[in-house]
A and B are shown apart, each in its own frame.
Chain A
Amino acid sequence: MKENVLNRMTLRFPGLPDNERFARLAVSGFIAPLDPAVDELGEIKTAVSEAVTNCIVHAYRGTVGEITLTVRLLEDSRVYISVKDKGCGIPDIAKAREPMFTTAPEEERAGLGFAIMESFTDRLRVTSRPGSGTTVTMLRTLRRGRQTNGG
């Protein structure tokens, strides 16, 4: 199905911890014209933070690699977000998505990132190939009616 994209942006940045905050702020700035409610904005920022952090702590463990963040604003106040890395990949996606599953318990990871992304978005898709990377895409519809150009 061909989607009508009203606005879009792509950011490429190295997987440095400082960029976790940057990614959250970039997404919240970009979707601001849709006038999301406070709770919606908080949830979207959290989902983005989870996806970007996973690239930094898991995909590029011990190294710093490139992260690509894409946001598209679709019709009917829908926000599409994709976070892509070229890191180690996930061997068993179903297992990785289970709540409390983590491969880094010694780093005080709760294994809740995917569970949070799932509950804070309407759709979460994870595609991954070991050795070549992972892409996480999320779709979230905002409660507000139709978006206008900021007004």
Chain B
Amino acid sequence: MPVAIFYDAESRTVLAELSGDIDHCSAASLRAPVDEEVMKRLPLRLMLDFENVPFMDSSGIGLIIGRSKLITDLGGSLIVVNPKPEVRRIMELAGVGRLCSIVFNEHRTLIGGMKI
């Protein structure tokens, strides 16, 4: 399963844990369930967790830009969580940090019952 999605009603946050390589082949199957959840919940925050993404190319950048547009149009914000060094490198190259905050939390704590 390439994406697991959680919703925390208290903080109005959708968390999408992505996994596996993100390329043109896998991007569409990640995009659809995330967008569906966002349109259903209309959250204030969309968190994309990259902890289990070992590889990403420009298709992943397109995925992030597209989700950023979607959540920004809804008045919310995008947060990218825990990208690995190789994935981070390409995010930096693409200037993803201008669209969203990139956060690292080694020690996951529980926020509103949600694993973050």
Contacts and interface: CB of A to CB of B under 8 A. Distances in A.
21 contacts: A17-B24, A18-B25, A20-B24, A46-B55, A46-B57, A49-B23, A53-B23, A53-B24, A57-B24, A108-B66, A109-B58, A109-B59, A110-B61, A110-B62, A110-B94, A112-B58, A113-B57, A113-B58, A115-B93, A116-B57, A116-B58
B37 interface: no
A24 B65 contact: no
Contact of B23 (A20, A38, A119): A20
A21 interface: yes
B63 interface: yes
Interface string B34-58: 0000000000000000000001011
Given A53-B57, A109-B58, A116 B93 contact: yes
B58 A17 contact: no
B25 A45 contact: no
A39 interface: yes
A121 B94 CA distance: 16
Given A20-B24, A45-B55, A116-B57, A110 B93 contact: no
Interface residues of A, number: 25
Nearest to A111: B58
Contact of A50 (B31, B58, B89): B58
Contact of B25 (A20, A108, A112): A20
Given A108-B66, A116-B93, A50 B57 contact: yes
Given A17-B23, A116-B58, 15 more contacts: A17-B25, A24-B21, A39-B86, A46-B55, A49-B57, A50-B57, A53-B59, A108-B31, A108-B65, A109-B58, A110-B58, A110-B94, A112-B58, A116-B57, A119-B93
Interface size class of B (residues with CB under 8 A): 20 to 34
B24 A56 contact: yes
A119 B25 CA distance: 23
B94 A42 contact: no
A33 to B, nearest CB: 21
A113 B94 CA distance: 10
Contact of B62 (A17, A20, A45, A109): A109
